Structure 1
Amino acid sequence: MTATDPAPAREEAPSVVGKLSTLDRYLAVWILLAMGAGLGLGRLVPGMSGALAEIEVGGVSLPIALGLLVMMYPVLAKVRYDRLDRVTGDKRLMVSSLVVNWLVGPAVMFALAWIFLPDLPAYRTGLIIVGLARCIAMVIIWNDLACGDREAAAVLVALNSVFQVVAFGLLGWLYLDLLPRWLHLGDGQGLDVSVWHIALNVVVFLGIPLLAGFLTRRLGERKLGRAEYEAKVLPRLGPWALYGLLFTIVVLFALQGETITSRPLDVARIALPLLVYFAVMFFGTFLLGKGLGLAYDRTATLAFTAAGNNFELAIAVAVATFGVTSGQALSGVVGPLIEVPVLIGLVHVALAWRRRFPADGVATGL
């Protein structure tokens, strides 16, 4: 379902694309323009990145937090919270998500970082941090555009949030300290990150928009009824999700525009393992969902939650631990530079594969 559609529909991908608004239809163009505008502002406007970086509370960027709130709130206001028990009862989906996100994802990024960047330890460490930060925010948009299961997305990002608070520091010790020493890859290094900082990140980037979306749905249905709420309120909220996405992209790239444009060869070295990572995680998980017999909407949700990363947290941890000008921080910055256009492309891939899934949820061959 697109960000402006009021309700789900079981239609083939060409029909879905045909119903897109102008904003949705040319989303890839708007995203590229937003990235270019952000890079240009960060590079050409003196003091822009520094001024934006100073607008923060507790290490959380307020402009990015505002953009993500505007982006996620309309989608979360569409979620049917009375259906969440159907998601939590799907053991195949829940177990698969936990395994792919917290066992497979970090291990794949660890392997790719060492394979592609054996001579660049700072960038390698930054990539591993990106792999540890599982997506809890922007995946909501990609899932919605790909007609994924909104209720499943809400449950899985909430699950990722809990594990992020509990497991991030432990996984950082495992992949940055214990494993390198155990595999004789060199001395390990610690990751100085506060559990409270991670919890604050989760509250700001997921908790606030989730609460706002839940209250809007609950109060709106109580006052108007479900049919009128979905027919009148949701179409008005829908476009704001994409406005928030574009604003977030502009701010994010303006913050790091000078760093990215001044080190193009380094950016290319970091980008290559990221491209492989997104391909492995998305296509591998999509095939896993197919093999498990999941319906298209839950397969898409599983794939996007596995492929996406919480770049806000990764950048914040890298900057706090290693410094704003460090190679680790640059790896975190390159993450969304690659992730945003790649995942919008994968939205179209997922929609093209949608016809391979019949309405009863039993997948056919891709």
Structure 2
Amino acid sequence: MSFLDRYLALWILAAMAAGLGLGRLVPGLGDALAGVTVAGVSLPIALGLLVMMYPVLAKVRYDRLDAVTRDRRLLLWSLVLNWVVGPALMFALAWIFLPDLPEYRTGLIVVGLARCIAMVVIWNDLACGDREAAAVLVALNSVFQVLAFGLLGWFYLDLLPGWLGLATGGLDVSVWEIARAVLVFLGVPLAAGYLTRRIGERARGRDWYESRFIPRVGPFALYGLLFTVVVLFALQGDAITSKPLDVARIALPLLVYFALMWAGSMALGRAVGLDYPRATTLAFTAAGNNFELAIAVAIATFGAGSGQALAGVVGPLIEVPVLIGLVHVALAARRYFPDRAATGAATTPEGSTARA
């Protein structure tokens, strides 16, 4: 295991601290980073996410995707967890923990609606999940995100609260805005990864591609992750550090959410007969959230200085360290899957990132 892999949790915490420190200590840095956008997409964050996702998607064996799409248990339960259980759980936790803070409550509900299509590929890869399954589930989530995000926003912020006699809100987001985020943060690296494998294998063969090329590009996934974390927290470093009590109140329901979604999904995967790699993929795709989309929607609808935007930024502040911790929990949980010896050997990736 490389030096970077061995102390990955430490580097992520250091990147978070560096981003918060830069955002707090360097005047105007957050505004400068926020201003570097094209069509509403933050270029620094986009760069980091593209560098992060490309190596993982270049490792995917696309000729094996048909085996994943035939696994109806995996696909069905992923849809249920992501588009029924996840948003409903976040709605309930937001009202339980933040009944007196409507802006933060709304921000959390928006986070719950934005299903993960980016960082999940890193957590899944680190935990020796099924890469091909992750690619399929992320693509499936992206389609549902375009179709369902606005509708679910109306349901959870307006219709359902009205039925329950609670305060209602609103969410003004276009289908194009969501589609654009999906295209940038999933479409570009997915196309690049697919073309790289196709061209590389055709030119030099699979052995060369997986034994020589992948180990060279693999570490860039973690470099991109660390860069993204620094930029993300630099953008809102001042807001986070100046309101520690508010951050703590937002963090508590998020901690409960990530723990329940991940543990419940992992246990469900084991109960319905999924092997370790696919149960792990199910758990991480269900527990993660698309922070970039949630923050962009909150800023566009409520403003950059709104409580909704702050809640969106606190999301990855909690998600990143919690999910990297759950990677280690997942690796330890392999012993509870009967096929762990076989799948452990089969799913150890080339050009490995952190491994047990």
TM-score (norm 2): 0.95
Q: Is the 8 A contact 1:283 1:303 kept in 2?
A: yes
1:215 aligned to which of 185, 190, 195: 195
CA deviation profile, 1:14-61 (whole Å, cap 9, x unmatched): xxxxxx221111000000000010001100011110100000011110
1:349 aligned to which of 323, 329, 353: 329
Distance 1:331 1:118 in 2: 14
1:184 aligned to which of 160, 165, 169: 165
Deviation at 1:355, TM superposition (A): 2.0
Correspondence list, 1:37-186, <5 A: 37-186=18-167
Distance 2:5 2:278 in 1: 22
Deviation at 1:358, TM superposition (A): 2.6
Correspondence list, 1:311-330, <5 A: 311-330=291-310
CA deviation profile, 1:192-242 (whole Å, cap 9, x unmatched): 001100000000000000000000000000011111110000000110000
Residues 221 and 307 (structure 1 numbering): CA distance in 2 closer, same or farther, change over 3 Å? same
Q: What residue number does 1:259 align with? A: 239
One-letter amino acid of the counterpart of residue 219, structure 2: P
Correspondence list, 1:231-250, <5 A: 231-250=211-230
Deviation at 1:362, TM superposition (A): 11
Q: What residue number does 2:353 align with? A: none
Q: What residue number does 2:352 align with? A: none
- 3-state SS of the aligned residue for 2:115? coil
Residues 361 and 132 (structure 1 numbering): CA distance in 2 closer, same or farther, change over 3 Å? farther
Deviation at 1:360, TM superposition (A): 7.5
Correspondence list, 1:260-279, <5 A: 260-279=240-259
Residues 360 and 326 (structure 1 numbering): CA distance in 2 closer, same or farther, change over 3 Å? closer
Q: Is the 8 A contact 1:294 1:362 kept in 2?
A: no
Q: Is the 8 A contact 1:130 1:314 kept in 2?
A: yes
Distance 2:249 2:40 in 1: 28
Q: Any gaps of 5 or more consecutive residues in structure 2?
A: 344-356
Paired-residue identity, %: 78
Q: Which runs of 4+ in 1 moved over 3 A?
A: 360-363
Residues 39 and 243 (structure 1 numbering): CA distance in 2 closer, same or farther, change over 3 Å? same
Distance 1:21 1:87 in 2: 31
Distance 2:18 2:41 in 1: 22
Q: Is the 8 A contact 1:52 1:63 kept in 2?
A: yes
How many positions carry a matched residue from both structures?
Answer: 343
Deviation at 1:189, TM superposition (A): 1.8
Q: Any gaps of 5 or more consecutive residues in structure 1?
A: 1-19
Q: Is the 8 A contact 2:334 2:340 kept in 1?
A: no
TM-score (norm 1): 0.92
**Is residue 3 of structure 2 the alignment partner of residue 22 of structure 1?**
yes
Distance 1:308 1:29 in 2: 20
One-letter amino acid of the counterpart of residue 330, structure 2: A
Distance 1:356 1:362 in 2: 13
Distance 2:93 2:297 in 1: 20
CA deviation profile, 1:288-322 (whole Å, cap 9, x unmatched): 00000100000000000000000000000000000
Distance 1:110 1:68 in 2: 27
One-letter amino acid of the counterpart of residue 313, structure 1: L
Distance 1:111 1:225 in 2: 51
Distance 2:334 2:42 in 1: 37
CA deviation profile, 1:105-156 (whole Å, cap 9, x unmatched): 0000000000000000000000000000000000000000000000000000
State the Cα RMSD in Å: 1.2
2:318 aligned to which of 338, 350, 357: 338
- 3-state SS of the aligned residue for 1:204? helix
Distance 1:209 1:37 in 2: 27
Q: Is the 8 A contact 1:193 1:321 kept in 2?
A: yes
Q: Is the 8 A contact 1:172 1:190 kept in 2?
A: yes
